[in-house]
Amino acid sequence: MTDSERPAAASGTFLIGGDLPVTRLGFGAMRITGRGVWGDPPDRGAAIAVLRRAVELGVDFIDTADAYGPFVSEDLIAQALYPYAGVSVATKGGFVRPGPGKWEAVGRPGYLRQCVEMSLRRLRVDTIDLYQLHRIDPLEPVADQLGALDEMRREGKIARIGLSEVSVAEIGEARLTAPIVSVQNQYNLVNRKAEDVLEYCEREGLAFIPWNPIAIGQLADASGPLAAMARQTGHVPSQLALAWLLRRSPVMLPIPGTGSVAHLEENVGAAQVELTDDQFDQMTTLT
């Protein structure tokens, strides 16, 4: 597929940190692993095909984490996309995985440095475009955790630092130690508990990366809350859910994930959905 044949992956772009341009609809690479986000996917070839198809469709922002697999998602991304021509890869660290479905935050500075070094190796890069603290460890001083990441930023191993699942107060505290360019919190049409964080990001010019943008498939269900509107507009429900996010805020960078090429193509198609004012308002008052 040539550049002239490649469709736009999102309505407009956003400059993460003021200097990293990405299209506003990215790809979340959690679901290319095995059940419970553990181990290899059932078909590694299919996972690689999804990643490559995403880039063919114009997606240029891939979000992953060392905990996905663990390590499987980063390995697959490198196998599928290295040397990442025109594609930015964001990853995360700060979790350990005792087993399938289990996650424990560890923010010891030495451990975070090890996480960064190993992600650099798996992704085959010298600098990580965006490195996000997967969770703040409540047992470690925030300044120590962000200080370790900022040291690696000044060493050139991290280009930009982000946070995940944080409050407004926690963002403010983190920014006393390191420059923060993005926040990744759970947010979707039926779960807007992070509304105050989104508004803070808008005021401060930070990227807001909503994980679980389709509410674990609830908003994609053919009998779900968007089904009737989808029949009226001729779209699939997941496209409406993503289109609502893209319109909700100019700092919003949704990262829907899937292990299916067909679902990927549906999701990317959300960038072409233009909601009317009435449709947007109707969806906003849905819950």
Catalytic residue set: 68
Q: What is the DSSP letter of 109?
A: H
Peptide bond into 109 cis (omega under 30): no
Q: Is the dihedral of CA 200, 216, 253, 270 positive or negative?
A: negative
**Interatomic CA distance for residues 232 and 247, integer angstroms:** 19
In this structure, are residues 204 and 215 in contact, taking their beta carbons and an 8 Å threshold? no
Residues 6+ apart with CB under 8 A from 19: none
* Helix (H) or strand (E) segment spanning residue 132: strand 130-133
Residue keyed to tokens 């424990």: 104
Angle in degrees, 0-180, between the axes of helices 237-248 and 261-268, rounded to the nearest 10: 40
Integer angstrom CA distances of residue 71 from 60, 82, 171? 21, 16, 27
